[in-house]
């Protein structure tokens, strides 16, 4: 099965509205034809203006988090309804920084996944182990638990719409990339786990990204692996030319 590669930028808490617009204009002007799906996951404050700048281009829009309720007394939160109103296509869910600094759990990931799908927002569910877990030989168990918890109660048809991002925490923002073999091994394991949960058809169609210090210099060796269907790119997605180079790997 041919899966369309998905290259997503994660800007984290970077860029003002003006900086985001300048990036979007530059990316649009340098981005040629590509067979890949391309998106930028930006801070909330930039979503409306980016939607306008990217309209008519192939670049889609993602958020980096959302609450699972439609509305309510949740000061400081943003709901899937609000994201949908802006025209957001994707939402990153359960990024390791959210798990680490904002106490997100497999249960909140699961609720957010269901809420995103209910509103027609494609979730990018992040999974991955910390270094101590890898060193202790626990990486596969950790990722299996995150997948099982995140996907709990979903139907196969829903699971197919979820993009899974394998992001070993020790490789995020550290400049230390998983080797293509390590990344491929885990992405193959993720596909196998999805097969166990939802069947082979779902496993073959679900897209699995690698994330963790992806840059122009290492994109090709990662993205040509059989089970790696794209990249979730942090730091290198902040510079339009670097992001384009990854898209064109
Ligand atoms: C990320 O933010 O998901 C990420 C992978 O960051 P970086 O590419 O900077 O490691």
Q: Strands, E, within 47-137: which ranges?
A: 59-63, 90-93, 122-127
165 lines ligand 1 (CB under 6 A): no
The mean pLDDT of the chain is 97
Instruction: Please state which of the ranges 59-68, 176-185, 187-196 shows the lowest mean pLDDT.
Output: 176-185
Is the CATH number 3.40.50.2020 carried by domain 27-238?
A: no
The residue nearest atom 7 of ligand 1, judged by CA position, is: 234
Query: Residue 86 has which token pair?
Result: 């802006």
Evaluate: CB of 167 within 6 angstroms of ligand 1: yes
Does 25 qualify as catalytic in the annotation?
A: no
Tokens representing 134?
């890898």
| Average confidence (pLDDT) over 183-212 | 98
Closest by CA position to 232, among listed 64, 29, 58: 64
What is the C-alpha separation between 111 and 156, in angstroms, rounded? 16
**Higher pLDDT residue, 173 or 99?**
99
Banded pLDDT at 176 (limits 50, 70, 90) = confident
Whether 246 shows a pLDDT value over 90: the answer reads yes
Q: Is the shortest distance between the CB of 128 and ligand 1 below 6 Å? A: no
Q: Is the pLDDT of residue 118 over 80?
A: yes
For the cut 80, the answer to whether the pLDDT of residue 194 exceeds it is yes
pLDDT for 19 = 98
User: In angstroms, rounded to a whole number, what is the distance separating the alpha carbons of residues 126 and 120?
Assistant: 19
Give yes or no: 119 in active site: no
Residue boundaries of the structural domains of the chain: 27-238
Examine the pLDDT at 147 and tell me if it is beyond 80: yes
Answer yes or no: is pLDDT of 241 > 80.
Answer: yes
The CA angle 102-99-85, to the nearest 5 degrees, is 70
Say yes or no to pLDDT of 223 above 80. Answer: yes
Q: Is the pLDDT of residue 62 over 90?
A: yes
Distance 13 CA to ligand 1 centre (A): 12
Least confident of 120-124, 147-151, 171-175: 171-175
- Say yes or no to pLDDT of 21 above 80: yes
């Amino acid at each position: 099965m041919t899966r369309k590669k998905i290259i997503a930028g994660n800007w984290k808490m970077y860029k003002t509205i003006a900086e985001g617009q300048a990036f979007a204009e530059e990316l649009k002007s340098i981005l040629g034809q590509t067979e890949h799906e391309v998106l930028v996951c930006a801070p909330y404050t930039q979503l409306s203006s980016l939607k306008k700048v990217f309209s008519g281009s192939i670049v889609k829009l993602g958020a980096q988090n959302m609450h699972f309720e439609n509305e309510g007394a949740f000061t400081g939160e943003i709901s899937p309804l609000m994201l949908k109103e802006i025209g957001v296509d994707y939402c990153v869910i359960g990024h390791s920084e959210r798990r680490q600094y904002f106490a997100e759990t497999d249960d909140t990931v699961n609720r957010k996944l269901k809420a995103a799908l209910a509103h027609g927002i494609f979730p990018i569910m992040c999974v991955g182990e910390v270094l101590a877990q890898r060193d202790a030989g626990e990486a596969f168990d950790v990722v299996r638990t995150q997948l099982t918890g995140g996907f709990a109660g979903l139907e196969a048809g829903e699971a197919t719409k979820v993009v899974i991002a394998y992001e070993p925490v020790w490789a995020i923002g550290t400049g230390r990339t998983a080797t293509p073999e390590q990344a491929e091994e885990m992405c193959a394991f993720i596909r196998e786990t999805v097969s166990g949960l939802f069947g082979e058809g779902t496993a073959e169609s679900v897209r699995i990204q690698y994330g963790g210090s992806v840059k122009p210099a290492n994109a090709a060796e990662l993205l040509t692996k059989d089970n790696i269907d794209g990249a979730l790119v942090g730091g290198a997605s902040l510079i339009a030319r670097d992001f384009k180079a990854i898209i064109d790997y």
